[in-house]
Structures are given as C-alpha cells and as structure tokens.
C-alpha cells in the first residue's frame, strides 16, 4: 500500500483573500492525494497551542510549503509572530534536509522582495500570476511526487574522438581570390535566429531591470509574459508608473520581425502599432545579424541583442526614470 504524502503549509496572514487562497491551495493538494494541512484546519475546531502545533507539523510532515510574500519576508526578517517563530524552527531543516522545504512565491511586484534574507538564492515555484496557476500547480505536484517534467536521456557511450588532420595549404595562385560561401540561408535558419534573438533580448531586459532594482530600492518592475513570443514590462518609481515596453515576435505580414513598443499606453493585445522593428540581415559569409529599422537618432551599428538593449536604454527608457 502506498504511503500518503503529508505537507504542512506555512504562510503569513496578509489579508482575508490571501488566507482563502492558501486554504484553496491546501484543498486542491488534498484533492490530488496529498494530506495537506494548515493552521486554520486545526484552530477552527480545537484549542491549540500554536507554537507546539508549529513544532509538531515541521517535524512530522514529509514537506513544508512556505508561501512567500512581501509581508512574509518582513515578518521573517524581524522574527515577528508565528512567521518569525517558524523561521527559527526552519533553519536547522534547511541545513539538514533542504529538500523537505518547498518555496512558493505569491509576490505583488518584485519577486525578490518576497524572499527573507536567509532564503535569498533558493529557487521557488511562482504562483503570482493567477493566469498561470495550473502550470505552477503542476510543477508543485511534480516536485512533491518527485515526477520530473523533463526526461533526462540515458548516458551513452563516449564517442571516438580522433585527432583532426592538418589543413592543406592552398596553392599561392588562389590566395588573393575571394571564394564565396555558396551555402544558402534557409527559412528555418532565419526563424531560429529571430526566435533566439527575441529570447535573448527579453532575458537581457529582465537582467537590466533586476540590476536597476538592486541599486535603487524605489524602482520596481512588472513582467507579463503573454506567451512564448510576447512579453511586456511596466516600470515604476516610488510605485508610480513611469513607462513600459512591449516586445513581440512576428505578425500577420512579418513573421520574422521583432516588434517593440514603448510608453505608458501600451495595448497588450493590439499589435498593429509599434515604435521599432528588428529585422535580419546576412553578410557575405552568410552570418545573420539584427538591424534596427526605426532607430533614427541612435546608432546604426546595433547588430546584436546586447547592442540593441543599450540603444533601447539610452534612447527610450533612461529619460523616463530620471
């Protein structure tokens, strides 16, 4: 007979909607065969010593699920209330059996703010976007049941790697003649290049905004990944919306173009207007590069995602934040 997996959910009492969300999460886990409990399941029918309840549940359950919010982080950092007490109790578990603790984030703005100081650097399952709840819950179930999402290929035999033969020197007669690269670029080559460029640009934007937030506590940003080919960011100073940026790959008439819109009034679902279009170019050696087609006052030599991010920062974002 399979032994039932048990889990105790630790969270901060931020507000009634948050407490109800945790109850719903516990019941959904129970519906999927996991004996999940929270403090309110005990206190609603019994007189309970809360400190003793925390100690017992941290010890006896197979997993401890920590729901991290900004309020949770504040209470953990200052050792306030039940969260502060659970923080002290969880420290030995982190050292002795870290896999027992599963971190869940439910942040309002910057996910870094939901992590207490002693938990920074740990990975967490992000439940902050209700539109992605099912995907996050599936990730949580797989973590608890130890069922991987990605299959790892079996280990094969080492290849036989022979030394390369030295290149034959060309006849001096042809040394000054240009011999072209006759290999043709295919549609798949272009599609893969533009998709990789889109992913790299969005990753660099995220890294840029994280760096700004690390140096400026009053800066916040929100990322909204609509799908695999469209992402937007909102930028805030002192919690006031300053500007935004939307980036998406493709369109009805230009499937291999990266489009970018800037400003405060960005329509996530209307892709008919944009401020920048990135297209591909190929040199004589068939090397693909990017080109900004609408960057009139910037550098015309921005060909890589890194160079393009610098152009966007200088010409479209920086002056909104100063």
pLDDT of residue 45: 72
Q: Do residue 192 and residue 292 come from a single domain?
A: yes
Q: Do residue 201 and residue 131 come from a single domain?
A: no
Ranked by mean pLDDT, the top range of 92-101, 104-113, 122-131, 232-241 is 232-241
Contact 311, 294 (CB under 8 A): no
Q: Do residue 141 and residue 191 come from a single domain?
A: no
**Residue ranges of the alpha helices (H) in 104-235?**
133-145, 187-215
Residue 197 neighbours by CB distance under 10 Å: 20
Please tell me the distance from the alpha carbon of residue 318 to that of residue 312, in angstroms, as a whole number.
Answer: 9
Q: Which domain holds residue 217?
A: 187-321
Q: Does any domain span residue 48?
A: yes
Q: Does any domain span residue 158?
A: no
Q: Is residue 176 over pLDDT 80?
A: no
Of the residues 90, 111, 145, the one at which a domain ends: 145
- Nearest-5° Cα angle at 67, 64 to 70: 145
- φ and ψ at 290, to 5 degrees? -95, 155
Q: Choose among 124, 132, 133, 126: nearest CA to 109.
A: 126
CATH of the domain at 99: 3.40.50.10140
Q: Does any domain span residue 198?
A: yes
- Dump pLDDT digits (tens) for 120-141: 778 889 998 889 999 999 999 9
Please state the domain count of the chain: 2
- String of DSSP letters for 90-123: HHHHHHH-GGGEEEEE--SS-GGGGS-GGGTT--
Contact 256, 310 (CB under 8 A): no
Q: Do residue 23 and residue 76 come from a single domain?
A: yes
The pTM (predicted TM-score) of the whole model is 0.47
Q: Do residue 128 and residue 220 come from a single domain?
A: no
Please tell me the distance from the alpha carbon of residue 18 to that of residue 240, in angstroms, as a whole number.
Answer: 24
Contact 143, 135 (CB under 8 A): no
Of the residues 113, 129, 145, the one at which a domain ends: 145
Q: Choose among 24, 38, 108, 17: nearest CA to 68.
A: 108
Cβ burial 5-14 (10 Å sphere, 16+ → b, else e): bebbbbbbbb
Of the residues 93, 117, 145, the one at which a domain ends: 145
- Dump pLDDT digits (tens) for 287-306: 899 999 887 666 667 889 99
- Dump pLDDT digits (tens) for 57-93: 888 989 999 988 888 888 888 877 777 777 777 877 8
Please tell me the distance from the alpha carbon of residue 199 to that of residue 231, in angstroms, as a whole number.
Answer: 10
Q: Does any domain span residue 156?
A: no
- Dump pLDDT digits (tens) for 255-294: 889 999 999 989 888 888 899 999 999 887 788 999 998 8
- Dump pLDDT digits (tens) for 11-58: 888 899 999 999 999 999 999 999 999 888 877 777 767 778 788 888
Please tell me the distance from the alpha carbon of residue 277 to that of residue 261, in angstroms, as a whole number.
Answer: 9
Q: Do residue 19 and residue 139 come from a single domain?
A: yes
Q: Do residue 199 and residue 274 come from a single domain?
A: yes
pLDDT of residue 36: 93
Contact 245, 317 (CB under 8 A): yes
pLDDT of residue 181: 66
Q: Do residue 10 and residue 117 come from a single domain?
A: yes
Contact 17, 45 (CB under 8 A): no
Q: Do residue 112 and residue 208 come from a single domain?
A: no
Q: Does any domain span residue 213?
A: yes
Count CA within 13 A, CB hemisphere, residue 275.
Answer: 19
Q: Is 49 helix (H, G, I), strand (E, B) or coil?
A: coil
Please tell me the distance from the alpha carbon of residue 305 to that of residue 322, in angstroms, as a whole number.
Answer: 24
Mean residue pLDDT of the chain comes to 86
Integer angstrom CA distances of residue 14 from 10, 43, 256:
12, 18, 45
Q: Does any domain span residue 116?
A: yes
Q: Choose among 247, 204, 240, 244: nearest CA to 219.
A: 240
Q: Does any domain span residue 170?
A: no
Q: Do residue 14 and residue 140 come from a single domain?
A: yes
Q: Do residue 204 and residue 128 come from a single domain?
A: no
Q: Does any domain span residue 77?
A: yes
Please tell me the distance from the alpha carbon of residue 28 to that of residue 5, in angstroms, as a whole number.
Answer: 14
Q: Do residue 87 and residue 197 come from a single domain?
A: no
């Amino acid at each position: 007979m399979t032994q039932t997996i048990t889990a105790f959910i630790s969270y901060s009492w931020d507000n009634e909607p948050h407490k109800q969300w945790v109850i719903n999460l516990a019941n959904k886990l129970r519906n999927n065969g996991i004996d999940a409990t929270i403090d309110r399941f005990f206190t609603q029918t019994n007189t309970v010593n809360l400190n003793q309840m925390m100690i017992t549940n941290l010890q006896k359950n197979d997993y401890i699920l920590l729901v991290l919010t900004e309020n949770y982080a504040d209470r953990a950092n200052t050792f306030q209330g039940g969260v502060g007490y659970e923080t002290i109790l969880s420290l030995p578990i982190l050292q002795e059996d870290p896999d027992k603790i599963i971190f869940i984030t439910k942040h309002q703005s910057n996910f870094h703010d939901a992590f207490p100081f002693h938990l920074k650097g740990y990975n967490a399952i992000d439940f902050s976007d209700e539109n992605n709840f099912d995907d996050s819950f599936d990730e949580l179930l797989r973590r608890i049941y130890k069922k991987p999402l990605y299959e790892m290929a079996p280990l094969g035999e080492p290849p036989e790697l022979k030394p390369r033969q030295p290149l034959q020197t060309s006849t001096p007669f042809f040394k000054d003649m240009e011999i072209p690269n006759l290999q043709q670029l295919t549609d798949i080559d272009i599609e893969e290049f533009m998709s990789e460029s889109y992913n790299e640009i969005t990753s660099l934007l995220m890294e840029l905004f994280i760096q700004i937030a690390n140096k400026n506590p009053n800066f916040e940003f929100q990322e909204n990944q609509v799908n695999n080919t469209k992402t937007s960011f909102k930028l805030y100073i002192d919690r006031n919306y300053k500007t935004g940026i939307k980036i998406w790959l493709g369109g009805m008439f230009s499937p291999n173009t990266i489009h970018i819109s800037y400003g405060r009034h960005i329509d996530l679902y209307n892709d008919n207007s944009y401020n920048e279009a990135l297209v591909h170019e190929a040199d004589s050696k068939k090397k693909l590069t990017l080109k900004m087609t609408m960057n009139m006052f910037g550098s015309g030599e921005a060909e890589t995602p890194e160079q393009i991010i610098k152009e966007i920062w200088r010409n479209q974002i920086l002056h909104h934040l100063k």
